[in-house]
Chain A
């Protein structure tokens, strides 16, 4: 368990953050640029002093301003991957990695060979830092942080300085890091797509405050998310397991008591998957629809109707153990008399869904 509760004033800006991360896991600090995410991770690392607060990791207190405890950065055993990699330019890639390994505690979490294999660093070891591409730099930086044998890994927007292609090149490495190592991670991002792929736990931040937190599925329904990601990206995130692929190439995924059909290739039965159902892609019907091309027709009950903007409403529907949200026009809400308790069918095309392994 990572427990963080800190306050810091910086001029007119006030950071007031509180969150808890079940370990191991990936918590994403998510919010707009300038909301204090980076300040918060700097404080966790110890690079920045908090005015007051407490930070503890798996029972070990790293900071407690009341008790006068403040473990210095170099003794905290927290790996830090910076946005701009910060590799040492006077050393080769190998020497950068060794720099961390030499100063690491004797108790190993990962071995050099493991890290090199996990991040595909073999080809890069002999190179000098300035001969690396942006994506390669970040991979080396992640490897270097891992070789310091950290008990916590902080990643401060490690992909923000990369273009889309490079980002796609590094993301799979981060996913395998999450899946293969038991190191808890705090991942700072303002990119929702990265959150969807990496996070197990989400902390929302706005102007210096942590405003909401929870598991990704639960947080995907949080109304505070809309102002950060925009109305079009709002949608429930469901987790389920693949049942198999049928002859038409559709993969069936068990989600709660229901089932989703998704167009996805090469997914083994039993694989854990994450599917996002965008609110704008959902269609709500009050009668069982027939003769439609839509492959997913989920029976459920309206849980709540809430205002989205001047023209549309958000309809929250329980589809058997999981809630999803649909965005419909206010005219539709009126015409179908949508209200809490009403049995409905939610429709979504298989082609508009994407499943991701978790």
Chain B
């Protein structure tokens, strides 16, 4: 990749790092939320459902702003995190990961819910009669059977995280080397005189990543389907 400049390579590297953190951290929570929404009937379920889907309908700038209010240095959660764990989110890649995770969360939960709804509960009952308790059943039957959805959700969320712009720039700004991911670098390139070539390269990079993600996801889905004989 000699045709990318050091700062472009940095943006690419940063994007991948931010998206990886974002997906890894939100994955367990997404599985838990998908399970709650699919399998449990509780007070406030509709509210939780709406809350999870909020980033899909809100302008990303609003999400970024809300994150700033909550997780900013003077925000209730942000100040607590800094005091108790020394975690700083504003202007950092962790902050960027949080913003992309929130934006991609509904996509992830959606994919997992669909696959969880397709898991035959009769199989869990069968496992139960064979002596498997709740956690055992979840780990050995439910989770493997919803694997297609988990993979699809993770790959979609990863791609979305690579491309998130509005929430990231609002929450953690556009700091080279720390929060300037691919789309932010592309935006900055367009703002610079003679940045056209750089913008084209960055756009091509995004295109390759996106396409790769889609192909990978399709390949995984096919393998799993063959494994399950569907």
Contacts and interface: CB of A to CB of B under 8 A. Distances in A.
Interface of A: 45, 47, 73-80, 82, 84, 86, 88-90, 99-100, 103-104, 128-131, 144-145, 148
Nearest to A84: B122
A89 B130 contact: no
Contacts of B126: 80, 82, 86, 88
Given A47-B128, A74-B133, A128-B229, 8 more contacts: A75-B131, A82-B122, A86-B123, A86-B125, A88-B126, A90-B227, A99-B130, A148-B129
A86 B131 contact: no
Interface string B107-124: 000000000000010110
A47 B144 contact: no
Contacts of A130: 228-230
B140 A99 contact: yes
Contacts, number: 65
Contacts of B136: 103
A103 B230 CA distance: 28
A73 B124 CA distance: 12
Contacts of A131: 229
Contacts of B131: 74-75, 77, 100, 103-104, 148
A76 B227 CA distance: 32
B141 to A, nearest CB: 6
What class of interface size applies to chain B in its complex with A? 20 to 34
Q: Among A76, A82, A86, which residue has the most Cβ atoms of chain B within 10 A?
A: A86
A129 B126 CA distance: 15
B229 A89 contact: yes
A285 to B, nearest CB: 54
B192 to A, nearest CB: 52
A215 to B, nearest CB: 29
A79 B125 CA distance: 12
B145 A47 contact: no
Interface in B215-230: 227-230
9 contacts: A75-B131, A80-B126, A82-B126, A86-B123, A88-B123, A88-B141, A99-B132, A103-B130, A128-B229
A78 B133 CA distance: 14
B127 interface: yes
Q: Please classify the interface of chain B as helix (H, G, I), strand (E, B), loop, or mixed, using the class held by over half of its residues.
A: helix
Nearest to A148: B130
B84 to A, nearest CB: 40
A89 B147 CA distance: 13
A88 B122 contact: no
A45 B129 contact: yes
Contacts of B123: 86, 88-89
A90 B122 contact: no
Contacts of A77: 131
Given A84-B122, A99-B140, A89 B129 contact: no
Interface in B113-170: 120, 122-123, 125-133, 136, 140-141, 144-145, 147
A341 to B, nearest CB: 54
A99 B127 contact: yes
Contact of A73 (B129, B147, B230): B129
Contacts of A90: 144-145, 147, 227-228
A86 B122 contact: yes
Contacts of A86: 120, 122-123, 125-126
Nearest to A100: B130
Nearest to A99: B130
A128 B224 CA distance: 13
Interface string B180-223: 00000000000000000000000000000000000000000000
Contacts of B227: 90, 128
Please give me the 6 A-B residue pairs with the lowest Cβ-Cβ distance, nearest first: A130-B229, A103-B131, A80-B129, A86-B126, A100-B130, A73-B128
A144 B126 CA distance: 10
